[in-house]
Amino acid sequence: GDVEAGKAAFNKCKACHEIGESAKNKVGPELDGLDGRHSGAVEGYAYSPANKASGITWTEAEFKEYIKDPKAKVPGTKMVFAGIKKDSELDNLWAYVSQFDKD
Ligand code: HEM
Kindly provide the ipTM of the predicted complex, given to two decimals. Answer: 0.99
Mean pLDDT to the nearest integer, 11-23 = 97
Cα angle vertex 34, ends 30, 5, to 5°?
A: 85
Looking at residue 26, the DSSP 8-state letter turns out to be S
pLDDT at 82: 96
pLDDT at 103: 73
Q: Residue 103: how many CB atoms within 10 A of its CB?
A: 10
Q: Which among 45, 79, 86, 88 is the best mutation to test ligand 1's pocket, defined by most ligand atoms within 8 Å of the CB?
A: 79
Domains of the chain: 3-97 (1.10.760.10)
Q: Could you tell me if the CB of 28 is within 6 A of ligand 1?
A: yes
State pLDDT tens for residues 29-85: 999 999 999 999 999 999 999 999 999 999 999 999 999 999 999 999 999 999 999
